[in-house]
Chains A and B, each alone.
Chain A
């Protein structure tokens, strides 16, 4: 008995109109994400990963094919899909607390003052930001901003979490800590997650499946099942199965990175 499909990419292609003609960015991509699954997309820079996430977020429409959420096409952004952007986008004019409460003051998910405070307290504590509740983002470190973005997205209780290289800008230690925190939070409140990452290790450690994406235009190279059960701990990194998977996926990914590089070099003016 398997969980139902929640996200379905069905022969999706996207091309953008640019000054030099049309640029195909996504080409005939099909994959599905089941309920409570954690799916990672890995692939070379500029291949079209963010574009695919933007379709899910409701910012980009497929040129052909369809993307459905619980069977319905995506009409636009909605608070049931929390998005963590590559550049976080914490609101600099609001305190940490007000950032987290931002979504709860909107008509779409309006909450009473006490409810807001409760939700805010909970995520401040979870993300280790309680001391900074009255601080403005400019005084926060990169890792703290990342946690704040996560807390703000979580506060409106989305069913889906779409993350674009959420830990890309963090140092190795903070990154590991954030990965474990994410696993811990997901363990408590199950969500269906799609994440983009450049780190094969991160993809394996967090995901239930890894989609390897080709050089531009994005095609699905292969989809790798990650068999390790949750909850996962860091010792997983040393398991021989983990290392095997890592080298297998890394080989696939390296080929695509090389192809993308070749493509970029060919496109460069001589």
Chain B
């Protein structure tokens, strides 16, 4: 049963989206820009059905999602231990921090020529670019999180008789989980934003390739469709992660809930 309040809430959630679509439509008909430069939502929807039914859009979405998830998974796998080292050992942080910030500032797109030289133009190259983006954004989040862990909990555990290993497993790990989840969320955002760049590397498929091919043929409706798909998948992934976080980290104090 849907209560009146949850019905209202659903409506309120749809409102900003409806507003965006309305403004978009208005821009098309306003005469401010050439109507051919801004496809209508209806045109994009038609294109959506067409690419959906011929199976190419689901395939592109799947391939891009797989690249993104691989990049994020590998990035997290390395960012978590690196973040631990940086957050835990002041000397490691002292030496590594400038390096991390140096590499973090480089736009992945600028690295593409080098990636092509070292990794070719296959699937590996694309994942390497995404991994790069994921790792450096994840490491910062992990480092900041780990270094904020209050030493009081470690002291308490010690007075109760905990060994170093027990402190790691029973105190550090649970306190790090929220930061790992935040790192994954940040990485997902950054990696989706890098996807189109990574698919500049001779990609035949994927949403980034879809957008680039469409631009070659000036198919603006396809470009719009590709962009919307990227945004929606990224949003869905973020919502899922937040759900997981709420489920497993319900001990956390939140400013708003």
A94 / chain B contacts, CB cutoff of 8 Å: 174, 251
- If the complex has contacts A82-B159, A92-B251, A93-B175, are A106 and B166 also in contact, measured as CB distance less than 8 A? yes
A83 at interface (Cβ–Cβ under 8 A)?
A: yes
A87 / chain B contacts, CB cutoff of 8 Å: 152
How many angstroms between the C-alpha atoms of A87 and B151 in the bound complex?
A: 11
B216 at interface (Cβ–Cβ under 8 A)?
A: no
B250 at interface (Cβ–Cβ under 8 A)?
A: yes
B residues 140-197 near A (Cβ < 8 Å) are: 150, 152-153, 155-163, 166, 170-171, 174-175
A59 / chain B contacts, CB cutoff of 8 Å: 155
A152 x B160 contact (CB < 8 A): yes
How many angstroms between the C-alpha atoms of A77 and B166 in the bound complex?
A: 14
A253 at interface (Cβ–Cβ under 8 A)?
A: no
B156 / chain A contacts, CB cutoff of 8 Å: 83, 85, 89, 91, 152
- If the complex has contacts A92-B252, A92-B253, are A83 and B166 also in contact, measured as CB distance less than 8 A? no
**Of A89, A107, A138, which is in contact with the most chain B CB atoms at under 10 Å from its CB?**
A89
- If the complex has contacts A92-B251, A106-B166, A136-B250, are A77 and B159 also in contact, measured as CB distance less than 8 A? yes
B160 / chain A contacts, CB cutoff of 8 Å: 79, 82, 102-103, 106, 108-109, 152-153, 156
Q: How far is the CB of B151 from chain A (nearest CB, A)?
A: 9
**Of A77, A78, A93, A136, which is in contact with the most chain B CB atoms at under 10 Å from its CB?**
A93
B159 x A57 contact (CB < 8 A): yes
B251 x A77 contact (CB < 8 A): no
How many angstroms between the C-alpha atoms of A15 and B103 in the bound complex?
A: 42
How many angstroms between the C-alpha atoms of A102 and B153 in the bound complex?
A: 12
A136 / chain B contacts, CB cutoff of 8 Å: 250-251
B residues 109-164 near A (Cβ < 8 Å) are: 150, 152-153, 155-163
Interface string of A123-139 (1 = CB under 8 A from B): 00000000000001110
Q: How far is the CB of A103 from chain B (nearest CB, A)?
A: 4
A81 at interface (Cβ–Cβ under 8 A)?
A: yes
How many angstroms between the C-alpha atoms of A105 and B251 in the bound complex?
A: 20
Q: Which residue of A lies closest to B150 (CB)?
A: A89
> For this complex, into which size category does the number of interface residues on chain B fall?
20 to 34
Pick from B157, B158, B174, B253: contact of A138, CB under 8 Å: B253
How many angstroms between the C-alpha atoms of A119 and B15 in the bound complex?
A: 54
B157 x A102 contact (CB < 8 A): yes
B171 x A106 contact (CB < 8 A): no
Q: How far is the CB of B169 from chain A (nearest CB, A)?
A: 10
Q: How far is the CB of A38 from chain B (nearest CB, A)?
A: 19
B residues 234-257 near A (Cβ < 8 Å) are: 249-253
B162 x A108 contact (CB < 8 A): yes
A79 x B170 contact (CB < 8 A): no
A92 / chain B contacts, CB cutoff of 8 Å: 251-253
Pick from A76, A102, A109: contact of B170, CB under 8 Å: A102
How many angstroms between the C-alpha atoms of A106 and B250 in the bound complex?
A: 24
Q: Which residue of B lies closest to A85 (CB)?
A: B152
A residues 58-102 near B (Cβ < 8 Å) are: 58-59, 76-79, 81-83, 85, 87, 89, 91-94, 102
A85 x B155 contact (CB < 8 A): yes
Q: How far is the CB of A269 from chain B (nearest CB, A)?
A: 29
**Of A102, A109, A153, which is in contact with the most chain B CB atoms at under 10 Å from its CB?**
A102
A89 x B155 contact (CB < 8 A): yes
Q: Which residue of A lies closest to B177 (CB)?
A: A93
A91 x B252 contact (CB < 8 A): no
A77 / chain B contacts, CB cutoff of 8 Å: 155, 158-159, 161
How many angstroms between the C-alpha atoms of A99 and B155 in the bound complex?
A: 14
How many angstroms between the C-alpha atoms of A94 and B156 in the bound complex?
A: 14
- If the complex has contacts A85-B152, A85-B156, A87-B152, are A109 and B252 also in contact, measured as CB distance less than 8 A? no
How many angstroms between the C-alpha atoms of A108 and B159 in the bound complex?
A: 11
- If the complex has contacts A85-B156, A156-B161, are A107 and B166 also in contact, measured as CB distance less than 8 A? yes
How many angstroms between the C-alpha atoms of A107 and B164 in the bound complex?
A: 12
B155 x A103 contact (CB < 8 A): no
How many angstroms between the C-alpha atoms of A59 and B151 in the bound complex?
A: 12
B158 / chain A contacts, CB cutoff of 8 Å: 58, 76-77
A82 / chain B contacts, CB cutoff of 8 Å: 159-160
How many angstroms between the C-alpha atoms of A106 and B162 in the bound complex?
A: 6
Q: Which residue of B lies closest to A149 (CB)?
A: B156
Q: How far is the CB of B60 from chain A (nearest CB, A)?
A: 41
What are 7 A-B residue pairs whose CB atoms fall within 8 Å in the complex? Answer: A57-B155, A82-B159, A94-B251, A106-B166, A138-B253, A152-B156, A153-B160
Name 15 extra pairs, CB < 8 A, besides A77-B161, A137-B251: A79-B159, A79-B161, A82-B160, A83-B155, A91-B156, A91-B174, A93-B174, A102-B157, A102-B160, A105-B170, A106-B170, A108-B161, A136-B250, A138-B252, A152-B156
